[in-house]
Homo-oligomer: A and B are copies of this chain.
Amino acid sequence: VKTSKPRTTYHHGDLRAALLSAARALLDEGGVPAVTLREAARRAGVSPAATYRHFADKDALLVALAVQGFGEFAAAMKAAFEASREPMADMGVAYVQFAVDRPGLFRLMFGPAVADRSKSPELLEVIARATQLFDSGMKSRKDVAPGDPVAALRSWATMHGLAMLALDNMLPGYDPVMLAQALAKKGRLPG
């Protein structure tokens, strides 16, 4: 499958962005294992070697995708936080929703594909930003002492675990987002 039209110019113009978006499509279609330099190059209409003008190696491409992912994630959390008077509940639901909507990306972000995150300061920073947003949500929660780290971690772990169990098909027959609502709002299971 070729995403881009054949080029007319020798130079691509914005190959880096094209490779990233091709890789992102691969991630969405087939998960982390489907992301390869060669296939991304193919879709961008370019030879495999050309990728090395823009990424030092495959890992650099994965890191770039993860950075992008955490950026989107932080934005989604922020949106849920700001649009609500129940920020923790809505952030929890948004967390699971994000994972369900972009399973490949979610796995890339949190999984072992990027082995050593500390090699990329940019990645560390965007992770810190996404995490901090989650923490600051905790601090405004009504029923919890501000900045209670145990409660913050509990909420995070709960939603992360729910997302993972859902992606990994351990909750067959349930709608993950409805489960997230039930857990976040301490309501009942529908059905």
Contact = CB atoms under 8 A, between A and B. Distances in A.
Contact of A161 (B107, B160, B169, B170): B160
A142 interface: no
Most buried by B among A110, A163, A168, A189: A168
Nearest to A187: B150
Interface residues on chain A, size class = 20 to 34
A183 interface: yes
Given A31-B112, A158-B158, A153 B179 contact: yes
Contacts of A159: 157, 161
B157 A183 contact: yes
A163 B149 CA distance: 17
A160 B157 CA distance: 8
Interface string A53-67: 000000000000000
Q: Is the interface of A mostly helix, strand, loop or mixed?
A: helix
Contacts of A156: 161, 165
Interface of A: 31, 107, 110-112, 117, 127, 149-150, 153-154, 156-165, 167-170, 179, 182-183, 186-189
A99 to B, nearest CB: 11
Most buried by B among A158, A186, A189: A158
Contact of A183 (B153, B179, B183): B153
B110 A183 contact: no
A169 B31 contact: no
Contacts of A182: 150, 153
Nearest to A111: B168
B31 A170 contact: no
Given A150-B183, A154-B158, A159-B161, 14 more contacts: A112-B167, A117-B169, A150-B188, A154-B183, A156-B165, A157-B158, A157-B161, A157-B162, A157-B183, A158-B158, A160-B161, A160-B164, A161-B161, A164-B164
